Structure 1
Amino acid sequence: MTGPVLAVDQGTSGTKALVVCPERGVLGTGFAPVHPRALPGGLVEVDPRELYDSVVAAGREALAAAGEPAVAVGLANQGETVLAWDLANGEPLGDALVWQDRRAASVCDELTDHAEELTRITGLPLDPYFAAPKMAWIRRSLTGAGVVTTSDAWLVHRLTGAFVTDAATAGRTGLLDLDSVAWSDTALDVYGLGAERLPRVVDCDTPVGTTTAFGPPLPLTGLLVDQQAALLAQDVTAPGTAKCTYGTGAFLLAQTGPAPRRGGSGLVACVAWRLAGRTSYCLDGQVYTAASAVRWLTDLGVIGGAQDLDPVGGAVPDSGGVTFVPALAGLAAPWWRGDVRGSLTGLGLDTRPGHLVRALCEGIAAQVTELATAAGGDLGTPLTTLRVDGGLTRSALLMQTQADLLQRPVEVSALPDATALGVAAVARLGHSPGLPVHEAVPEWKPSAVYQPRITADEAADRLGRFRTAVAALLAGTGHAEGPAA
């Protein structure tokens, strides 16, 4: 394939677009912000029209910056953000529920008796983080009209008129049979969604239609959920390899190959991608608040922004005895306790902003370490290295803390915007059938490698303090169990 592709990454706080050429790299970029609204009670909403407008604006800006046309477009999406909309005219029937939204907890509470069966079929735990409980809540509490889907299906319909979703995004709903990669009638019935019209599940490299939203007609040839796109961009294609993306949340994915790996650790088993009819699977663990916890610290006036993590945290030698569990939107894997809230302990009159910054970095890194440990347990062998990407990887303090607690090298991607580059790869594969995957994926190269600087005993001690704080939170809500690992 000779021409560049337009890769659009529609994310929680904005849409990033790249024009990517296989020979010349990134030719142009564009960005448009998105403004989700965090409301009392764990509610997070966004105007769907803002999502679509941001896709168009960022894509047009990237093409203008590139100064040359693209031959195809690929779209990455948020994953578990859902909305109801009219299939006849494409109009949304209300705000979209963002993946962080917790209002569907009541649905999950009612379905507790089905939790084990749902996890066996779909690979996902019963939790309002995923799409199916949100879809059921919308049907019960908002509207019975139109269709209710993840945001990608609506965006693709607005762009091309097609009614589809890719296999990896479908795998994030809690409605997909993990083994057959088809909608599960059993799961649909459990959620009360058996009568729903659902989008067709397609391979990630399937041409699904043509759009004129960005100017001249462009075929839409690649669809992939955001974290799996980053997994592909970092060339995490061999079983046992893993990556973590540090964005609004932190998301660790470990490749398991052509068969799903259901473990007992509390990690999610899901579709990594389906390319040319062949499915790859991965284990997935989530930290709900990473950059959003940094924003919280910023809003309190402790720091001026993420750029202050290193200078402020570097002003003190350690956390000064402060322990921060940044569960500001609940604990995800491996605990799956969305009702838990964060804690700051060990505060004193001598506590300074730097201590809070270091405690936050340790809290994020400790949760990622728990995920990596759980992944190693499910895979039967510890992870050897961790490849990382996302905005917070610019913090040397956070990355060094991660290497220290993990006791493994942390390789920072030299390629920013891994999600967009991953969806560029699948768009290229969809545009050029028969192209080998390794030719579509950018060559992996780290910009920095962080090695552990503390002993295993010291790492265990610091992790022990974090686990004690988590156990106290769980005990305080009547559940004293720790990770399932």
Structure 2
Amino acid sequence: MEPNINNMNNVGSHQQDVYNNNNGDGSSSSSTSTSTTPINNSGSKASSATTEEDYILSIDVGTTNIRAIIFDKQLNIIAKSIENIPLIIDQNRPGARLAWVLENIEEARVAAKEKNMLFGTIDTWLLWNLTGGKAHCTDYSNISTTSLYDPYEMKFNSVIQYLFNIPQHIMPKVCDTAFHYGDTLPELFGRAIPITAMAGDQQSAMFGQCCFKTGDTKVTIGTGCFVDINTGRQARASRTGMYPLIGWKIKDDIAYLMEGKGMAAGTAVDWACQFGMFEHVAQTSGLASSVPHSQGVVFVPAFTGLAPPQNDPTARGLLIGMTPSTKREHVVRALLEALGYRAKEIIDGLVLDNHTTISKIVADGGVCQNDFVMQFSADMVGRPIDRADQHEMTAAGACMLAGLGHGLWKTKEELIPLRKTSRLFESRMNKDNRKKLFRRWQRAVQRSMHWASSEDVHGDNDDGFGQDSDLDTSTSQHSSTGSYNGVLNSASTSSISSLDNENKK
């Protein structure tokens, strides 16, 4: 029997879809992984000498799509989903969004009061549908991203719930990251498959990178720019606007992370491509490397504001420093350099918090496959950056967690040899030049700040331009003030669902 993941497109089709994914800004999404029992796979392309082998199906819910990937025990990819499933993007935090829904939508308020509504992150929705409504759960890593859960006391924040009238009974059960959550419906994959792990997006990638020790640091540059550092067995507070997360919890083993994010990374590159600056993203590294410097041009990708350390939602994108001699190559180089500057800002913020010393820096994400971005980031940070060989790191981390939950591996130490290095980027820039370039970046950032009014940020002002006739109506329905248009729009990674009568608990 060959692993079949084509049925993933039908998951949840029996139920009204009222769950929307998060993350226009790249904030934490979730990844769910299921672990199979041994199945006959003689017709697959696995390199195993036997006809039976364990495979792990990892469902990666990213910023803009869902991918289903099957791994073997050596983390080789056996099969992938045929096509991406586009998700509606929303930029708000789950806790605030849920509070808005309960305050402004009568149907939701009544459903919650009558115990006919459930809340959860996107993994909760996947689990609910994969199990046919038998499991309403999440894990510690996902729930810690919602602002409804206190990572310091390891319990739901009763103060937040009281202030915003959020009932506890709609919350999912919180379980270990590697845990037997239930089994999939047999009709989905031809047999029931145990679901043995769920993890948040960046936490899963952190686990896949084998960042198991205090001080291990991961840079992910994809749609957004994330930096996570393992702070050990204790949640830490930040002076620069970073936020503590639960990395994973497996029985008595718990790891906390401190995370900082950049608002735009890959989205800025895509914007430039659509703008006609280049025909394909793959061209950018060559264009940027074809000139020795940006000739003073700086690009600040603050399309939706600036995250820590500036924490300015009114900042907007800025391209500055152009002269009549500025070429396309200079602008492309400035665009890619911005990603390295953002990584440096976040890492500097983590260092300033002084909770732990950075022991190593590893990297993953689609934009990290760009050699110029990686080299410039290493130059700016002043440390070597180890780029992973595995491109699907979030899915790989969920796969590892599922394997641990299913018993394919007994300890985390068994996983370390599976993590391979693609290339190690050493810092080659001298300290004086690094300081000079970074000071120029900081000047540009200051000029980009405090541009939009509060009305612009909250969508209450058209800024004199009126309505854009080219605006996608699906986007306009998901403004920061929220809406109700036949479905409930969830926040960030949150999801809200009315229970089917037959599944009502």
Aligned to 1:404: 379
Q: Which contiguous aligned blocks of 4+ residues in structure 1 show a shift greater than 3 angstroms?
A: 140-143, 379-382, 475-479
Map 1:1-400 to 2 at 5 A.
Answer: 3-23=54-74, 25-36=76-87, 46=88, 98=89, 100-101=90-91, 128=92, 130-142=93-105, 143-144=107-108, 145=111, 146-160=117-131, 161=133, 162-194=135-167, 197-212=170-185, 213-380=188-355, 382-400=357-375
Of 223-232 and 344-353, the range deviating more from structure 2:
344-353
User: Any conservation in 2 of the 1:185–1:194 contact (CA below 8 Å)?
Assistant: no
1:413 aligns with 2:384: no
Q: Structure 2: which 5+ residue stretches go unaligned? A: 1-36, 38-52, 112-116, 455-505
Higher Rg of the two aligned structures: 2
What displacement does 1:188 show? 1.6
User: Any conservation in 2 of the 1:247–1:391 contact (CA below 8 Å)?
Assistant: yes
User: Any conservation in 2 of the 1:203–1:277 contact (CA below 8 Å)?
Assistant: no
Q: Deviations over 1:330-365 (max 9, x none)?
A: 211222222321111112222222112111112111
Partner Cα distance (1:344, 1:24) in 2? 42
Partner Cα distance (2:396, 2:449) in 1? 39
What secondary structure is seen at the aligned counterpart in 2 of 1:296?
A: helix
Aligned to 1:40: none
What displacement does 1:152 show? 1.6
What secondary structure is seen at the aligned counterpart in 2 of 1:318?
A: coil
Partner Cα distance (1:249, 1:439) in 2? 31
Call closer, same or farther: CA 1:331–1:475 in 2, change over 3 Å. Answer: closer
Partner Cα distance (2:66, 2:409) in 1? 30
What displacement does 1:374 show? 1.3
Partner Cα distance (2:54, 2:450) in 1? 57
User: Any conservation in 2 of the 1:295–1:305 contact (CA below 8 Å)?
Assistant: no
What secondary structure is seen at the aligned counterpart in 2 of 1:224?
A: strand
What displacement does 1:318 show? 1.3
What displacement does 1:23 show? 4.0
Aligned to 1:113: none
Call closer, same or farther: CA 1:215–1:203 in 2, change over 3 Å. Answer: same
What secondary structure is seen at the aligned counterpart in 1 of 2:86?
A: coil
Structure with the greater relative contact order (CA < 8 A, sep ≥ 6): 1 or 2? 2
Which amino acid in structure 2 is aligned with residue 465 of structure 1? R
Q: Deviations over 1:370-395 (max 9, x none)?
A: 11111122235553532001111111
Which amino acid in structure 2 is aligned with residue 137 of structure 1? W
Call closer, same or farther: CA 1:289–1:475 in 2, change over 3 Å. Answer: closer
TM-score, with normalisation over the residues of structure 1?
0.76
Aligned to 1:424: 399
Call closer, same or farther: CA 1:441–1:426 in 2, change over 3 Å. Answer: farther
Call closer, same or farther: CA 1:194–1:149 in 2, change over 3 Å. Answer: same
Aligned to 2:461: none
Which amino acid in structure 2 is aligned with residue 151 of structure 1? I
What displacement does 1:30 show? 2.6
What secondary structure is seen at the aligned counterpart in 2 of 1:207?
A: strand
What displacement does 1:440 show? 4.3
User: Any conservation in 2 of the 1:232–1:441 contact (CA below 8 Å)?
Assistant: no
Partner Cα distance (2:409, 2:334) in 1? 49
User: Any conservation in 1 of the 2:261–2:307 contact (CA below 8 Å)?
Assistant: yes
What secondary structure is seen at the aligned counterpart in 2 of 1:32?
A: coil
Partner Cα distance (1:355, 1:373) in 2? 26
Q: Structure 1: which 5+ residue stretches go unaligned? A: 37-45, 47-97, 102-127, 480-485
